[in-house]
A and B are shown apart, each in its own frame.
Chain A
Amino acid sequence: ELKVEQNPLFLSMQEGKNYTIYCNYSTTSDRLYWYRQDPGKSLESLFVLLSNGAVKQEGRLMASLDTKARLSTLHITAAVHDLSATYFCAVEAVGGGSNYKLTFGKGTLLTVNP
């Protein structure tokens, strides 16, 4: 069974600081997703990482994937209050019935303080 471990689970940052969220997974996969969820809202897709060494950047967020280490990182640069949300990584793998499915990490609750 695929396990996805995300850490830290809680992150309190000051505006302007940098930090990294880590996502480890237990079995082979070449496809990893990062999502953002605001309180009471659904999931917003941030990044789709498709292959080893993939790096994507959008604004103050940068995501990378190392399939050999089974590790993805989400790096936050110069945090601002608007980034406060819960961030999930999700790993795609073949599930029952030979369909692809996503397994989510527990999420990182990010709070950016002034």
Chain B
Amino acid sequence: SAVISQKPSRDICQRGTSLTIQCQVDSQVTMMFWYRQQPGQSLTLIATANQGSEATYESGFVIDKFPISRPNLTFSTLTVSNLSPEDSSIYLCSVESWQGARGYTFGSGTRLTVV
């Protein structure tokens, strides 16, 4: 299955600043997914990123707050903009992968704390 390298693993950011998270995959993938996991909560899909097209955002998430880039088939970035303490979460990227059947592999996550 695909191997994902996600950076940074954690960061502490000031209010009003932005954080850009990177995900690098060891193989070409069509779609990459970005999730948010708030403390003690489940995962919520932020957006789906296809190479060469605009990302598709889920209800409650907007491009101005969570701009995504997908410059090629192995890389994507998620920026969390104008940070507030409510943005403190773990952010994970994910890709489809083959695990005997089509499945999904997750990056190691980025733990963001906003102070």
What is A's interface to B at a CB cutoff of 8 Å?
Answer: 31, 33, 35, 40-43, 45, 48, 50, 88, 90, 95-97, 99-107
Stretch at the interface among B13-21, B38-46, B70-78, B81-89: B38-46
Contacts A35-B106, A101-B58 supplied; 15 other A-B pairs, CB < 8 Å: A31-B102, A33-B103, A42-B106, A43-B43, A45-B1, A45-B105, A50-B101, A88-B42, A90-B104, A96-B48, A96-B56, A97-B56, A102-B33, A102-B94, A102-B104
Interface residues of B in 20-64 (CB under 8 A from A): 31, 33, 41-45, 48, 50, 56, 58
> Is the Cβ of B103 less than 8 Å from the Cβ of A45?
yes
Contacts of A35 in B (CB 8 A): 106
Contacts of A45 in B (CB 8 A): 1, 99, 103-105
B92 contact from A40, A42, A100, A105, Cβ within 8 A? A42
Closest to B104 in A: A102
Contacts of B58 in A (CB 8 A): 95-96, 101
Total chain B interface residues with beta-carbon distance under 8 A: 27
> Is the Cβ of A99 less than 8 Å from the Cβ of B41?
no
User: How far is B99's CA from A40's CA once the two chains are assembled, in angstroms?
Assistant: 24
> Is the Cβ of B42 less than 8 Å from the Cβ of A104?
yes
> Is the Cβ of B107 less than 8 Å from the Cβ of A42?
yes
Q: How distant is B64 from chain A, measured CB to nearest CB, in Å?
A: 18
Most chain B beta carbons < 10 A, residue from A33, A35, A41, A96: A96
> Is the Cβ of B56 less than 8 Å from the Cβ of A48?
no
Contacts of B42 in A (CB 8 A): 88, 104-107
Closest to A40 in B: B111
Closest to B30 in A: A99
Contacts of B48 in A (CB 8 A): 95-97, 99, 101
A48 contact from B41, B100, B106, B108, Cβ within 8 A? B100
User: How far is B101's CA from A106's CA once the two chains are assembled, in angstroms?
Assistant: 24
Q: How distant is B61 from chain A, measured CB to nearest CB, in Å?
A: 11
